[in-house]
Structure 1
């Protein structure tokens, strides 16, 4: 029942109905009021009814946005059709709101935890909610934000708990506690900008307590000082290594959280964590449980509070999400999404037809590997097995002539090529894209070469990424400008030679050490410039066709795989449809060629129709013929097609 005092109604729909007079709930309200009015049963004056959209594609809907809806309704001339939470600058239907407006209780704890996919951060926070919910009278809530990269991308956990019921069905914007579980995030994201005064910041870093302050960007230091925050650090990976936990830092960071948040007395919190560990890992055996217990105890010993100086001393600036060399669309749209600010993008920035460019993963430079492969030139036997097995195409090899060496960086490595397949006096280089590497170490595992002086070492070995990042970035850029080997000369039947071909599938969002992507990459190397892919839904469609970046790439001629995924269609049928269409187009092209044989010439038509395209040479020659055909068709069109214009086009 609607109160008789109502004068205005604002109806919110979480959908968009193109072509309809209005969204479903809005139309229901209008029809209900109109029906009552037409029958004379309405007990009040016909109200003003407006409609709007909210929450589309998981857009936030906060109290500030609710307030803007009421503010709009209160206007003398409100927007009749509006959107809220969307920067709709095409039809200007969006309502403005004050992001700082909040109704959250001061008694409610609000924490944000920044982790790396697969490091255990999300699982640890879910466990924390369970501990708090079961061990106290507090109400608890958790939201977890992560993209569909299988692992290795940033995750953000939003935790709330407090004595009052929590009805905040939106993400945290004013945290009292912020934890950064991966130091690399601080280089690109100002995660302290939202922190309230007196908030606590926890950082996982390899740096000592004396070094960490000078390593922070200027904006981070400024926020820590001006907001009078508390600052704690721990080397969680060191603790994990010493206690046999590998790279799983979830238990360690969870212990840090309870140790400094003062939700429980420290001893009580540790006992509760250990009880939780027993429940979670008990089925995996006493050894796993004890390793986690050791990690908890060791954490308390290695957690330090950093005294915050009174002045900003850093000149370090936040790094841009992508380099300044990126194309305009990548700079304007993709970079924003990579930086976690995609929600701020206006509608006008998005392509009308929904198409996004290829070859965009190369701009991400995630820098998520703590250790990366380093090539030992003298030990290497040039087998290219490391290149073959690399899941993310971050290790590349090239064979080239000495004349291609111009302006070589001081630390760039190369050596004489041992084989004679591509001529005499050729050079060989193996290069790693350290900023794109995920640190899986499969290359080290597969390497057959042993260092004779130190047998524990191979021709490729893992080393810390940070000290060599700058020099290897320069080396990678230089390596890319060295010409690729002539595809026609490559013996694709050999693993070694196939890896001199340019991969057109690179830096995907697949898990570190993925076993699928080396095969996908190999397909792109062997056939990529002419491949048409029907991709079934699963891992390969997620790491292969996801936003904001795409690993499928094009070569210098603009050729690359044509890719599509049909979620609700049998993929075998989907791919078969591809085949039928290609065969039909091929048949049509041959029929048209024969109709134009007098204009084009017998020899060219016969060569095109009967071309042998079984190898790279045959394909190259056919492409040369197609270019010749295009020139002839242009000449025919200019001279007048004589009734054959449709065929010529």
Structure 2
């Protein structure tokens, strides 16, 4: 396949693939998912065609509940329908999701995952929102970077059509949704041949139509409800193979290697981390760093979280593994453990691998930065005679003492240039940096990454642009803390912040100011 390089953020990448398979998009904006709907609306207005030769019919509703209801009705009418949401928006969709999931409608939702307001409001990223939806009957597919957001968005749509199953495609709000990278765009013509036309026609035939009326959505009594619920096991049990089939098709097109559970690291690893979404990239970097020092560590990246396939998961764990740390990016208050941890413990028991010691920990709530130093602390914890369970990383918990001690480390990235630019929300710094990183990635032919750390105030607040570029793929899904170049475009920051704290020895500092 001829490589078509583009510079995109995760939202645009997911929307690009979603557009191909979508006939109706029912939307309502919420940070940080809004750009997905905006892109689909823009492309539709400009006449961009989907795989079926038409423009997407975009319907903006007055709430997320309305958008979900529109998805349900549109799917019942036989149209492939998509929505994009986050956080409280996703919570308002849950009632309709139970119906779409239970009725096996090929709904696809793309989620830029974010905190759901509880003790405090936060617009930043963690897995609280999609974890709340585990019982809706939706399959849950997880991406870790803009490239995966594009590729696995396509897998979600293809699997939804062929498996006749509702899908959520989730990635980390801001960290992936707003992170720009140079990636390879899928070709719509390559995707066209992957659509299961027979399954699509069966979906069309079963649509609500006055020409062939049907009766559905009935009330049922205790005599049959339970049996119907258990009868659905057949669908859930067969779906992992469907998803792997389409991952294999995307692998053939791209040369990448997607599995339901991807193992990375030493083949004879004794300590393994299980994780999903953007932290997976940081863990991979740390695995390489530790194994180069003689350790035997590895990691399992979860791509298909629901339905959770015990057999595929067990096959991904090395036979030598003695201890596992499961990292969750959310907190289920009052539970004995977080969701992924509980699933891993159960899956290992069912697979006959109960000999493996498993501990769980929390990281990255509300976009708290997750760094290689913190991941090293997790592996060091696993080496102990009594590894700490229910731990946290990235904070100093001096109240309930859950945290692991860690030291920040700087991983070697030969030939990579990193930059940190300070600006004021709305002053043009972010826009200029997006243009710069696009030029470096597209015209300069470099691997490039741009991440923008926003203040909650957005316009008028503090913005920090974290840019990296070089000749090797960039997997550093954390903030720049050792920069070759630091710039400040707001002179008032000079007396407020330590602007050169993250500047390398011999690095360059630029102050953009009106002073002589």
TM range (shorter): 0.3 to 0.5
Larger strand proportion of the pair: 2
TM-score (norm 1): 0.30
TM-score (norm 2): 0.38
Larger helix proportion of the pair: 1
Larger radius of gyration: 1
